[in-house]
Amino acid sequence: MGLFGRKKSEEKASSSPAGEVTLENGNSYHISQVVDCIGDSCPRPQLMTKKALAGAAAGEVIEVRVDNPTSMEAIPPMMPELDSAHLGTVKADRYWRVIVSRN
């Protein structure tokens, strides 16, 4: 078990499929993995996103859920260095859904 029991929820969140997402431009994507970073602050969401993308196959779409504005703004610019693409960001009720894809 990780510090304060966090590891158990990470394993659950990082492998659960989320179905489909339709972005503002009308494109729809099948989400193959969700990374739940709600309640986490920098740099944890960025590190968890990097880890998820490292284990993803080419073309896989990952949803990163963040409620920290700084993290939401920091994830898209790091995509080129991870051989990935930021597809879009969707505002949910209390968090953002940052949609990224492995190139």
pLDDT digits (tens, 9 = 90+) for 28-77: 999 999 999 999 999 999 999 999 999 999 999 999 999 999 999 999 99
Would you list the domain boundaries of the chain? 3-102
User: Would you give the distance in Å from CA 71 to the centre of its chain?
Assistant: 11
Fold designation for 3-102: Translation Initiation Factor IF3 (3.30.110)
- Can you tell me which residue has the tokens 């991870």? 82
pTM: 0.82
What is the C-alpha to C-alpha distance for residues 39 and 51, in angstroms, rounded to an integer?
Answer: 18
What is the C-alpha to C-alpha distance for residues 85 and 94, in angstroms, rounded to an integer?
Answer: 24
The continuous run of DSSP H or E covering 101 comes out as strand 96-102
